[in-house]
Amino acid sequence: MAVKGPYLGLWLEGHGFISDPISEKQMASDREKNRLTGRMRRYARVGGSMGTMAVRYGSGRLLGRETDRQALASDLRVALGGLKGPVMKVAQILSTIPDALPREFAAELSQLQAAAPSMGRAFVKRRMKAELGPGWQQHFTDFDFEAAAAASLGQVHKATGLNGTTLALKLQYPDMTSTVEADIRQLELLLALYHRRAPGIDTAQIKLELAERLREELDYRREARNMQLYSHMLADEPHVHVPVHVPELSTGRLLAMTWLEGRPLLSFVDQPQEVRDLIATNLFHAWYIPFHRYGVIHGDPHLGNYTATRDHDINLMDFGCIRVFPPVFVEGVITLYRALRHGDQDMAVHAYELWGFDNLTPEIIEVLNIWASFLYAPLLDDATRLINAAEKPGLYGADVAAKVHRELKRLGPVTPPRPFVLMDRAAVGLGGVFLHLQAKVNWFQLFQDLIEGFSVDDLAQRQRKALDLVGL
């Protein structure tokens, strides 16, 4: 029997190919449960949208017309953006995997997280009433029903509190638990198909890592603690700003925080070089100080998660996708940097082992070094320069990744350790932001200032204190 369209995910689940790791106890305590009906609706929506795109493509082929792949890719991005939910992130992630998609599709889907269509006034009223009760408007002197920003799991509204403070209210879309679980199954299926096509890279750890991060993003109470963690880690950085959590107006699906005034980073691309360089330097500090001093990264560094002030400081806007690494992982990052700088192969092997790679042959190490040399190149060159010479920021690293992919496919299988998955994705995403700005900075000097006097024991102590402080 052929199983197609929106029912494929249900068939896979019913026949034991996909398991649900969320406990019954956890689901019972969740008032917007991972319901079968919710997942069925999600399969239908995703399957329907994708089916429409497939019909358009197939009709063109059947009638002898070669479908414009660029136009189709653009339409697919719009269709997925309208679906909401993590399927947008799944598509964006897929766009970063070499050879998983045609180049036109990868370029379009890499833009998905920058913006999404917002939901209307009636939706906002229902959701705010569900979170704060029938008299929810009494908590504000002003509330803007037009979303200031919209993304995959929710949208942000500007409001004024009773004390006059300007607020940002992040409101989660309804039934997101079911949506996330359905979309994780789509990710599982896509990665399984990709692994059959390209067995050189084992995707099991990729799936586990991304699924865990997606589930964490549903919990706005956890995101509030992440926000407080970043306030602590960046307390001594005057050019990076983090919102202040407002707990009395927050729930598990509504996150209230102070509003940070700023402009999108892309609005600065025509500014003088020194302005773009300053913004990039501040963004470098915002991302790398938490990692090298506390072992924490912002795992979703796309343009929509930052704004810049009139003084060119950086505002951090989203704290859903945060990854805490074992201190030894950060040690591996710095060890590999030193190995590449001094041409020490044994030290490079030690760094990969610290990350969790095993069964490394000399050939595989050589291939991994190609990718490492690409990522570390700006940090090894003591000169003012672009982060990379890529023509399109959305495809930053694509050519090198494709070359590495082909070699690992020939030599594999290779299993990327779980912590490596998000670190790799985040580093590429951040490089793309620097390319959009066309910033010219001495990345070497910035990095040297960060790692001077590095001690894995000191990092472990700082990390433990910081996590205890915010209850993580």
Instruction: Give me the mean pLDDT over the 332-359 stretch.
Output: 91
- CB burial of 347-368 (b: ≥16 within 10 Å; e: otherwise) equals bbbbbbebbbbeeeeeebeebb
Report the distance separating Cα 85 and Cα 263, nearest Å.
25
* Terminal-to-terminal C-alpha distance of the chain: 48
pLDDT value at position 331? 96
197 or 2: which leads in pLDDT: 197
Query: Which amino acid makes up residue 347?
Result: M
273: phi then psi, degrees, rounded to nearest 5: -55, -40
Return the pLDDT at 71.
Answer: 66
Longest Cα pair distance anywhere in the chain, in angstroms?
Answer: 67
**What pLDDT score was predicted for residue 65?**
43
- Least confident range from 67-81, 316-330, 417-431: namely 67-81
Domain boundaries, the chain: 198-210+264-472
Would you place residue 429 in the very low, low, confident or very high pLDDT band (cuts 50, 70, 90)? Answer: confident
Question: In the predicted model, what is the mean pLDDT of the chain?
Answer: 78
Burial (CB count <10 Å: 0-12, 13-18, 19+), residue 210: buried
Q: Rounded to whole angstroms, how far apart are CA atoms 371 and 393?
A: 17
> For residues 305 and 317, what is the distance between their CA atoms, to the nearest angstrom?
5
CB atoms within 10 A of CB 175: 19
> How confident is the model over 211-254, as pLDDT tens digits?
787 788 889 999 999 999 999 999 999 999 999 999 999 999 99
* pLDDT of 441 strictly over 80: yes
Give the per-residue pLDDT at 414.
73
| pLDDT tens per residue, range 171-205 | 998 888 777 777 777 666 666 655 665 565 566 66
Closest of 101, 113, 192 to residue 402, by C-alpha: 101
Percentage with pLDDT > 70 across the chain: 68
Q: Which of 264, 258, 170, 149 is nearest to 217 (CA)?
A: 170
How sure is the predictor about 305, in pLDDT bands with cuts at 50, 70 and 90?
confident
Confidence of residue 80 (pLDDT cuts 50, 70, 90): low
